[in-house]
A and B are shown apart, each in its own frame.
Chain A
Amino acid sequence: MLKLFNKIRKTGVITEDVPEGRDPAFEEVGEQLRAKVGEIFSGSLAIREVDAGSCNGCELEANALNNSWYSIERFGIHFVASPRHADLLLVTGPVSRHMEAALRRTWDATPNPKLVLAMGDCAADGGEFGVSYASCGGVSSIIPVDGVIRGCPPTPMSLMKAILALVEKRTDND
């Protein structure tokens, strides 16, 4: 047990200022985000991630936001298990035809007002998989999309920025 506590002590806090290279503008956005999340979402923005046909690359990077380098929860953002608890749907993949109905249902189950962020080149327009008998292409072909973050996959850093931008946009519109 002592070894365990020692390891925690030695590792220390590694969470870095976002983004790498200490972009002061970004820290500002981070603070703004925290404020906006506080204002509009009562302090916490709940994200439900939906893989609608992805290769799993995008999932790995969404997951990475929870590691201690990024530790996204410090901005009041957390991933939840049910769409019924979610403010934002983060959707990856070209929407496969076999996930189409499940994606619609997940969207229906998410309470209004809701945001949808399409993550990755596939979610943007089908990416490498395009549109076919098995793929509907981008997420917007199935449900309304509020924001798109390109990349294959988008890095955790760019995903985080996209979430910030989306919340900002919402604030501007309201």
Chain B
Amino acid sequence: MSAYDWLPDFLDRLKADNVLLEDDSITALAKVPMLILEAEDWGRAAAQAQAFGLRWMGGWADQLDEAFHVSACLAHQHEVLVLRAMLSLEIPVLPSHTPWYPGADHMERHTQDMYGVLFSDHPDPRRWTRHHAWGENEYPLRSDFPLAGTRPGPMPTDHNYRYLKAQGAGVYEIPVGPVHAGIIEPGHFRFQAVGEQVLNLEIRLGYVHKGIEKIAVGRDAPGLARLAARISGDSTVAHGWAACMAMEQAAAVQVPERASYLRAIMAERERIANHLGDIGAICNDVAFAFAQYQFSRLRESWQRVSQQVFGHRFMMDCVVPGGVASDVDGAGLELLRSGLEPLRAELVELMAILDDNPSLEDRLATTGFLSAAIAAKFGATGYVGKASGQDIDARRDMRYAPYDRLEVVVPTSQNGDVQARMHIRSQEVFASLDLLTQLLRDIPAGEIRSDWRTASEVEGIAVIDGWRGEIMTYVRFDADDRIARFMPRDPSWFTWPALEQLIHDNIVPDFPVCNKSVNGSYSGHDL
């Protein structure tokens, strides 16, 4: 099949639905086809895209001199398409994608809070990212909003948010957070329950909103890479890579082969470290402490090797624009190689013990079931999507270097429960060990960084598979090689709503293990 051979059919569908498409409507964002639509056609285009089977990957806005640009990124199997509408600064209103793509809900409300762009038929007009750090008619990402904000003085709590109410005999509410019991990130969960059974869960986020999109503006490329490395500490390599790839695409910088291998080695190591930690933590949440001790031990030794070879336990700031920060010598590569087989052997042994344990199975199997249909509806990727039949992995599908040379095995399951999400993780660790074997065998000699080329008024978009799932990152440079817009879309945008769904009819005491099995990023989502 030739590239984008589905696109003419899709365009015909749009035209048949009276979506206005002129010759100059079809342009490109970097190497990705982009359709410029009339604002009023925005909703109908989504309806057609959904009917055509396109997957919704993210949406964002941007302010240029005379207009707001609203964009959405969609995918047809492994090919990406961008839709864009331009709105006047005075009346920034357009139809919503949410009726067709429920996963768009939070991102559109985020856009509404940050830019004041109104999605007219959005089913839920409540604020999302905004608590009280800025006012209802203020929009932090507009260029006239001061970086320092407008509300000095002590900040109140997030009062007045209209949570869903449940009524009926015996229904009670359990509010939890933002400060939770464990050493984890803050967010608010509101359960409605009868007895032990969860009727409904509403998740309220935005507590760790740090203004990442605003403080990105005006940075140079290395500065943006540093910021991206801190979007979500557990995904520092993945977000760093996505941001650098988007910038490199915009500036037409070629990454040397060796650098792409080193990036992949770090990304696979990051995946393994996090999966090891999660498998232990999932078991710990059902009081199987043995696994927690064993897996946290493995994770710690793994991170120590990262420290030795890359100079940082999480490999933070190791991905830089144009390549990687420093090379790994022969001894370092050998050290990395020597750790693969011992870990594989331990994992074989430990997974056999876990699989053998009936009490563990009793707690994990069927718990927190997420159907394939709901996972697809919200756009869940990563282990959450894969455990619910979503066979999506950018390493294999988008074939970015160096994965275009490797065989990437993507485990999937139809079981959709906590146990499946745990097993996908262990299978991914084995797959990553295989990838690391290939990467460490084939890594070519050569440069590790290309010189940066001044970028002027260009855009870039990158899609990569992080350990938590697919990351999609958009950047735009201004005329002077500085960042004008940065939007990193963490996979958590789509797994938080999946968590709200999969907890239905489970018991309240199983919430921690369900939550851990999804392990959404708060910081990556709140920005």
Chain B contacts for A51, CB-based, 8 A? 183-186, 208
Of A21-29, A30-38, A129-137, A162-170, which stretch is located at the interface?
A: A129-137
- Chain A residue nearest to B231 in the complex (CB): A55
Of B3-11, B209-217, B251-259, B474-482, which stretch is located at the interface?
A: B209-217
Contact B297 A67 (CB under 8 A): yes
Contact B316 A152 (CB under 8 A): yes
Chain B contacts for A4, CB-based, 8 A? 290, 353, 357
Contact B297 A57 (CB under 8 A): no
User: What's the nearest-Cβ distance from chain B to residue A89, in Å?
Assistant: 11
Please indicate which of the listed interface residues B140, B206, B211, B353 has the most CB atoms of chain A within 10 Å of its own CB.
Answer: B211
Interchain CA distance A93-B146 in the complex, whole Å: 22
Contact A97 B133 (CB under 8 A): yes
Contact A55 B523 (CB under 8 A): yes
Q: Do A134 and B214 form a contact, CB below 8 Å, given A66-B296, A97-B133, A106-B179?
A: yes
Does A46 touch B at the CB level, under 8 Å?
A: no
Chain B contacts for A52, CB-based, 8 A? 186
Contact B178 A102 (CB under 8 A): yes
- Chain B residue nearest to A14 in the complex (CB): B297
Tell me the dominant secondary structure on chain B's binding face. Answer: loop
Interchain CA distance A54-B353 in the complex, whole Å: 35
- Chain B residue nearest to A132 in the complex (CB): B211
Binary contact track A129-150/B, C-beta < 8 Å → 1, others 0 = 1111111000000000000000
Does B232 touch A at the CB level, under 8 Å?
A: yes
Chain B contacts for A74, CB-based, 8 A? none
Does A7 touch B at the CB level, under 8 Å?
A: yes
Does B66 touch A at the CB level, under 8 Å?
A: no
Contact B147 A132 (CB under 8 A): yes
Interface size range on B against A? 35 or more
Chain A contacts for B147, CB-based, 8 A? 132-133
- Chain B residue nearest to A152 in the complex (CB): B316
Contact B209 A96 (CB under 8 A): yes
Contact A50 B133 (CB under 8 A): no
Does B403 touch A at the CB level, under 8 Å?
A: no
Q: Do A130 and B181 form a contact, CB below 8 Å, given A60-B233, A68-B297, A102-B207?
A: no
- Chain B residue nearest to A82 in the complex (CB): B181
Chain B contacts for A105, CB-based, 8 A? 157
Does B158 touch A at the CB level, under 8 Å?
A: yes
Contact B233 A7 (CB under 8 A): no
User: What's the nearest-Cβ distance from chain B to residue A74, in Å?
Assistant: 14
Does A63 touch B at the CB level, under 8 Å?
A: yes
Q: Which B246-298 residues sit within 8 Å CB-CB of chain A? A: 277, 290, 293-294, 296-297
Interchain CA distance A63-B295 in the complex, whole Å: 13
Please indicate which of the listed interface residues B179, B300, B353 has the most CB atoms of chain A within 10 Å of its own CB.
Answer: B179
Interchain CA distance A128-B224 in the complex, whole Å: 10
* Among A1, A66, A94, A152, contact of B210 (Cβ-Cβ < 8 Å): A94
Q: List 29 A-B contacts (CB under 8 A).
A: A3-B349, A3-B353, A7-B350, A11-B297, A53-B210, A55-B230, A55-B233, A55-B523, A60-B234, A63-B183, A69-B297, A97-B149, A98-B155, A98-B207, A98-B208, A101-B154, A101-B156, A101-B157, A102-B157, A128-B230, A130-B215, A132-B211, A133-B134, A133-B140, A133-B146, A133-B147, A134-B210, A152-B230, A152-B316
Interface residues in chain A, defined as those with a beta carbon under 8 Å from any beta carbon in chain B? 1, 3-4, 7-8, 11, 14, 49-64, 66-69, 79, 81-83, 93-94, 96-102, 104-106, 127-135, 152-153, 155
Interface residues in chain B, defined as those with a beta carbon under 8 Å from any beta carbon in chain A? 131-134, 140, 145-151, 154-158, 178-179, 181-186, 206-212, 214-215, 226-227, 230-234, 236, 277, 290, 293-294, 296-297, 299-301, 303, 307, 313-314, 316, 349-350, 352-353, 356-357, 521-523, 526
- The 6 closest A-B CB pairs, nearest first, are A57-B233, A133-B149, A134-B211, A81-B181, A97-B133, A67-B296
